[in-house]
């Protein structure tokens, strides 16, 4: 070997030892950090179903459905790693023997086509991803999450700092490590260019040896032709240097990544596979719908056995060591793509909450404290301030950010690596609520009303049937008019809003009248019904939730309830998805699903009422749509209504924008930024619709307030119709108008 080859061989071998060693050290450190977490039962089996889920997600890239360019570009870059790895292997041999080709694969035309095809596609893909980042990242985006969190926490929504200016907050890369992303993208770009150049040089050497084949170099032969005027020695030296550069770039990447275990934009290519495998549902559903139960050690919290808990029992997450290993894997896997941040209604309306920034704060804090936690568990002395650090009191998680979450699930639904943001946020709320009583003051009153009166309005149970007064038919009550719910088709779960809130009571009456008209027998629980506990649970008060839920499960069991119809999306989710955790299993249907079925079966016949056609836009409630994937029945019902022109808002179905009421936010004031309901109302107004159709009483309340704010912005004396301010109403009321028109015609 000549001096060049010897030198390059020594350099690449040394670089490989350093690169692989540093990378292995980083992987070990990262693994130790994740193992600090508590147990996460049920995350590893069944192996077969979970493995198939990973394969399906990797091949299909289904979580990129709303970003087709990014989806294709990311897929090509992802595939290039395993395919082009073989060019890295051959590169080591080419440093010594420039004409080297891998046995079997080196003479395989299909492999040559695959290698070159993936290389060119990966080149196009990484250029596209670079273009997306450059176009999406404004110049005033802070370069580090620490600065981003500080800026978001101080004066969020008031325009007090440069970090809060537009379009900075609109960028999904706000708070991401731009420099780290540049390193990853530059590495991919340089490696792919080196692969294509090497292929061309290999063709030129093969041509000079008389063994060149167009089939083996289908798209790179022309690159080799550019070297036709150079000597063979020069071409060989070019191969050696190109292979060396390719290896050094790869090893440099290993070193950078190994030294930065928190570099999620790089580590996710390894960890995402594990995170997708360990997702909550082995069936492939995102981590929405029911919340994970509170665990004390290895057991789920049972309110009936509270007195048996050890004195030092901790409910919820106070410190990083209270997170499960899956939650620590979540935060370590974050790619910093910002799709969660882009969809978050709190962030979009100027509040300090960004699901991404919360994730990065937890990741960085976990990495910094994990060594001290391991030392403490091993019995070594550790300074105060490194163990059992309260995430909220210490400022790792901003209190305003924690309570800004509506638990709408947009972050979870959008995350391409299956991070379960909502579960983690609620776990932190649980500790703050149950152990520290550190929650917004308004929630104190709500908790008291729920505990004493069984509803968040604090109204007496005897008023739960007031909505039925004046109906032209009797509403049977279980235990008074019918012995059990088994005697009727459905138990009608009215809900607190349906019983007490004025607009929701109109919906309750409408559904009752429609069921009566269709000949569907139903009964209610009357004053035996209590709050499902959804507001308490989302606010972190798991003990109060279980008290309310257990009472309801007992009542439903005594009533022999099997089929239940509900009008509230939150009741729908709690009864159908969360009560099974307490032994209550029912066939729960949302009123839009049942009414749609009755119309389709001809049991309800809507006709167009007098007057002009109504332009209607439908708002997807988060707990009906994203959390339970009920998207089509409400739309099918609207489509079946004569005299209705349905129009969609820009953000619909799984990308629908929250009304702002979830996560117990219905009972909290929005003192930071724009009201979420107002922002959603503005989208509805922009469609030109005269009616905003809803399917949840919370949404009706919030959007009604939002529409009123929109009208107020236009002036106190303005004609609402003139400025296009729509009416907010439930779909059931639209159907009832048309069914009544049918009866009177």
Q: What is the mean pLDDT of residues 112-138?
A: 93
183, 256 Cβ separation under 8 angstroms = yes
Number of other CB atoms surrounding residue 333 within 10 Å? 26
Write the DSSP assignment of 27-53 as a string of letters.
Answer: HHHHHHHHHTSBP-TTSS--HHHHHHH
Task: Give the pLDDT mean for 516-522.
Answer: 97
Using CA of residue 588, residue 590, residue 594, residue 596, what is the dihedral sign? Answer: negative
Residue 207 predicted with pLDDT over 50:
yes
635, pLDDT greater than 90 = yes
Is the predicted pLDDT of residue 178 greater than 80, yes or no?
A: yes
Instruction: Give the SS3 label for residue 563.
Output: strand
What does the pLDDT look like over 542-581, one tens digit per residue?
999 999 999 999 999 999 999 999 999 999 999 999 999 9
Residue 140 pLDDT exceeds 70: no
pLDDT band at 165 (very low <50, low <70, confident <90, very high): very low
Enter the pTM of the model.
Answer: 0.92
Report the pLDDT value the prediction gives residue 136, as an integer from 0 to 100. Answer: 85
pLDDT in tens, 276-321: 999 999 988 999 999 999 999 878 998 888 888 888 899 999 999 9
Angle formed at CA 661 by CA 659 and CA 666, multiple of 5 degrees: 145
**Is-cis flag, bond preceding 167, omega within 30?**
yes
DSSP assignment of 394-441: TTSS-HHHHHH-----HHHHH-TT---HHHHHHHHHHHHHHTS--S-H
Q: How confident is the model at residue 425 (pLDDT cuts 50, 70, 90)?
A: very high
**Tokens read off for 656:** 């629908």
Q: Could you state, in order of their start, the residue ranges of all structural domains in the chain? A: 3-30+57-142+180-261, 279-438, 449-599, 605-744
**DSSP annotation string for 204-224:** HHHHHTT---GGGSTTTHHHH
pLDDT at 156 over 60: no
Per-residue pLDDT of 638-690, as tens digits, reads 999 999 999 999 999 999 999 999 999 999 999 999 999 999 999 999 999 99
The number of helices, as runs of H, and strands, as runs of E, in the chain is 27, 10
Q: What is the pLDDT of residue 653?
A: 95
User: Is the pLDDT score of 162 beyond 50?
Assistant: no
Q: In the structure encoding, which two tokens stand for residue 139, read together?
A: 């110049």
Locate 502 and state its tokens.
């004025």
Q: What residues pair up with 477 in beta bridges, in sequence order?
A: 524
Give the whole-angstrom CA distance, residue 90 versus residue 612.
Answer: 73
CB 355 within 8 A of CB 340: yes
Of 59-63, 193-197, 331-335, 437-441, least confident by mean pLDDT is: 59-63
What confidence tier does 142 reach under pLDDT thresholds 50, 70, 90?
A: low
H or E element, residue 646: strand 644-647
Report how far apart, in Å, the C-alpha atoms of 25 and of each of 253, 364, 404 are. 14, 18, 38
Cβ neighbours, 10 Å, residue 718: 13
Displacement of CA 424 from its chain's centroid (Å):
12
Find out whether 726 and 707 touch, Cβ atoms under 8 Å: yes
**Residue keyed to tokens 């409910």:** 315
SS3 content of the chain, % helix, strand, coil (to 5): 60, 5, 35
Lookup: tokens for 685:
């107004």
Quick one: pLDDT at residue 741?
Answer: 82
Range scoring the smallest mean pLDDT among 191-195, 385-389, 520-524: 385-389
Predicted pLDDT at 212: 74
Q: Per-residue pLDDT for 343 more than 70?
A: yes
Of 532, 549, 528, 526, nearest to 464 by C-alpha is: 526
pLDDT at 718 over 70: no
Structure tokens at 733: 């009321």
What pLDDT does residue 170 have? 82
- Nearest Cα to Cα of residue 418 among 293, 358, 334, 323: 334
Q: Give the pLDDT confidence score for residue 139 in this predicted structure.
A: 64
Rounded to a whole number, what is the distance in angstroms from the first to the last CA of the chain?
99
Collect all residues with Cβ–Cβ distance below 8 Å to 653 and sequence separation of at least 6: 620, 625, 631
What value does the mean pLDDT take over residues 614-624?
96
Angle at CA 265, nearest 5°, toward 261 and 271?
65
* Exposed / middle / buried, residue 441 (Cβ in 10 Å: 0-12, 13-18, 19+): exposed
**CA 193 to CA 190: how far, in whole Å?**
5
Q: Are 463 and 538 in contact (CB under 8 A)?
A: no
- Which residues touch 405 (CB under 8 Å, ≥6 apart)? 346, 353, 422, 425, 663
What is residue 610's predicted lDDT score, i.e. its pLDDT? 82
Q: Are 619 and 648 in contact (CB under 8 A)?
A: no
Q: Categorize the per-residue pLDDT at 23 as very low, low, confident or very high, splitting at 50, 70 and 90.
A: very high
pLDDT at 517 over 80: yes
Query: Tokens 């290698």 — which residue?
Result: 115
Q: Token pair of 451, please?
A: 């505990």
CA pair distance 154, 177, nearest whole angstrom: 20
pLDDT band for position 210 (50/70/90)? confident
Determine which of 87-91, 205-209, 325-329 has the lowest per-residue pLDDT on average: 205-209
The per-residue pLDDT for 154 is 40
Q: Are 259 and 183 in contact (CB under 8 A)?
A: no
Total number of residues shown for the chain: 745
CA 355 – CA 428 distance, rounded (Å): 13
The predicted pLDDT at position 29 comes to: 96
Give the residue carrying structure tokens 């991919």: 188
Give the integer Cα–Cα distance in Å for 186 and 265: 13
Dist CA 79 CA 738 (whole Å): 55
Provide DSSP, 431-494: HHHHTS--S-HHHHHHHHHHHHHSSTT---GGGGGGGGTT-SS---BBTTTBS-GGGSSEEEE-
- Report d(CA 201, CA 192) in Å as an integer: 14
Closest by Cα among 567, 481, 534 to 665:
534
Nearest to 107 by CA among 243, 211, 220: 211
Residue 158 exposed, middle or buried by CB count within 10 Å (0-12, 13-18, 19+): exposed
What's the confidence (pLDDT) of residue 713? 59
What's the pLDDT score for residue 745? 59
Closest CA to 672 of 145, 148, 153: 153
Answer yes or no: is pLDDT of 157 > 60. Answer: no
Place of tokens 């960028």: 171
Confidence of residue 164 (pLDDT cuts 50, 70, 90): very low
Q: Could you tell me which CATH class the domain 279-438 is placed in? A: mainly alpha
CA–CA distance, 228 with 304 (Å, rounded to integer): 84
pLDDT tens digits, 432-478: 999 999 999 999 999 999 999 999 999 999 999 999 999 999 999 99
Q: What six digits make up the tokens of 77?
A: 């870059």
Return the percentage of the chain with pLDDT > 70, whole number.
Answer: 94
Query: Which tokens in the block code for residue 146?
Result: 């620490």
Task: Give the SS3 label for residue 454.
Answer: coil
Q: What's residue 153's pLDDT? A: 46
For residue 163, the model assigns a pLDDT of 39
pLDDT in tens, 213-264: 778 999 999 999 999 899 999 999 999 999 999 999 999 999 999 999 999 9
- Cβ–Cβ contacts within 10 Å for residue 65, how many? 12
Nearest to 571 by CA among 616, 614, 538: 538
- In 3D space, the residue among 326, 333, 325 whose CA is nearest the CA of residue 373 turns out to be 325
């Amino acid at each position: 070997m000549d001096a060049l080859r010897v030198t390059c061989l020594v350099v690449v071998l040394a670089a490989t030892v350093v690169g692989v060693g540093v990378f292995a050290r980083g992987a070990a450190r990262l693994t130790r950090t994740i193992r600090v977490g508590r147990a996460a039962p049920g995350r590893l089996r069944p192996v077969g179903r979970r493995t198939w889920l990973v394969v399906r997600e990797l091949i299909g890239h289904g979580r990129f459905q709303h970003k087709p360019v990014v989806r294709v570009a990311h897929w090509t870059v992802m595939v290039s790693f395993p395919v082009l790895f073989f060019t890295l292997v051959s590169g080591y041999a080419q440093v010594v023997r420039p004409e080297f080709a891998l046995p079997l694969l080196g003479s395989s035309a299909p492999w040559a086509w695959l290698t070159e095809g993936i290389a060119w596609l990966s080149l196009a893909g990484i250029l596209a991803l670079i273009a997306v980042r450059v176009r999406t990242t404004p110049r005033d985006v802070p370069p580090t999450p620490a600065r981003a969190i500080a800026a978001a926490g101080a004066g969020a929504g008031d325009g007090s700092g440069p970090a809060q200016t537009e379009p900075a907050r609109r960028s999904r890369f706000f708070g991401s490590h731009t420099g780290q992303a540049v390193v990853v993208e530059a590495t991919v770009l340089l490696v792919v260019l080196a692969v294509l150049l090497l292929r061309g040089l290999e063709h030129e050497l093969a041509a000079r040896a008389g063994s060149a084949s167009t089939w083996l170099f289908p798209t790179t032969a022309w690159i080799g032709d550019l070297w036709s005027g150079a000597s063979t020695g020069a071409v060989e030296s070019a191969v050696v240097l190109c292979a060396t550069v390719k290896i050094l770039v790869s090893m440099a990447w290993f070193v950078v990544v190994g030294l930065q275990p928190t570099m999620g934009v790089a580590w996710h290519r390894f960890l995402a596979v594990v995170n997708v495998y360990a997702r909550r549902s082995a069936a492939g559903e995102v981590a929405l719908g029911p919340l994970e139960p509170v665990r004390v050690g290895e057991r789920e919290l049972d309110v009936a056995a509270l007195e048996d808990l050890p004195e030092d029992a901790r409910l919820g997450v106070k410190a990083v060591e209270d997170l499960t290993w899956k939650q620590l894997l979540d935060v370590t896997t974050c790619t910093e793509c910002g799709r969660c941040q882009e969809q978050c209604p709190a962030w979009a309306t100027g509040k300090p909450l960004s699901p991404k920034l919360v994730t990065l704060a937890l990741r960085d804090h976990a990495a910094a404290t994990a060594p001290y936690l391991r030392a403490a568990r091993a019995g070594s002395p550790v300074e105060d301030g490194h163990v059992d650090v309260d995430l909220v009191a210490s400022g790792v998680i901003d209190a305003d950010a924690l309570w800004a979450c509506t638990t709408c699930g947009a972050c979870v639904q959008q995350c391409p690596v299956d991070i379960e943001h909502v579960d983690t946020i609620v776990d932190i709320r649980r500790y703050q609520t149950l152990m520290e009583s550190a929650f917004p003051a308004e929630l104190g009153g709500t908790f008291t009303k729920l505990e004493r009166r069984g509803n968040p309005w604090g109204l007496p149970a005897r008023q739960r049937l007031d909505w039925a007064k004046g109906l032209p038919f009797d509403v049977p009550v279980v235990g008074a008019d019918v012995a059990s719910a088994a005697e009727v088709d459905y138990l009608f779960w009215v809900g607190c809003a349906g019983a007490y809130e004025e607009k929701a009571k109109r919906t309750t009456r409408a559904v009752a009248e429609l069921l009566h008209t269709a000949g569907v027998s139903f009964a209610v629980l009357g004053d035996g019904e209590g709050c499902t506990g959804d507001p308490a649970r989302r606010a972190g008060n798991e003990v109060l939730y279980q008290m309310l839920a257990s009472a309801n499960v007992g009542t439903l069991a005594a009533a022999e309830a099997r089929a239940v119809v509900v009008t509230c999306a939150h009741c729908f989710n709690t009864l159908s998805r969360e009560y099974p955790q307490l032994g209550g299993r029912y066939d729960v249907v949302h009123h839009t699903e049942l009414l749609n079925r009755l119309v389709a079966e001809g049991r309800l016949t809507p006709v167009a009422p007098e007057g002009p056609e109504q332009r209607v836009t439908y708002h997807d409630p988060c707990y009906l749509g994203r959390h339970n994937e009920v998207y089509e029945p409400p739309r099918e019902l609207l489509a079946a209504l004569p005299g209705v022109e349905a129009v969609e808002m820009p953000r619909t179905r799984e990308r629908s924008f929250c009304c702002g009421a979830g996560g117990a936010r219905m009972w909290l004031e929005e003192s930071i930024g724009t009201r979420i309901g107002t922002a959603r109302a503005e989208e509805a107004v922009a469609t030109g619709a005269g009616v905003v159709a809803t399917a949840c009483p919370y949404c009706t309340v919030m959007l009604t307030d939002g529409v009123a704010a929109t009208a107020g912005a236009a002036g106190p004396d303005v004609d609402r119709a003139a400025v296009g301010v729509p009416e907010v109403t439930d779909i059931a009321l639209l159907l009832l108008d048309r069914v009544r028109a049918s009866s009177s015609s």
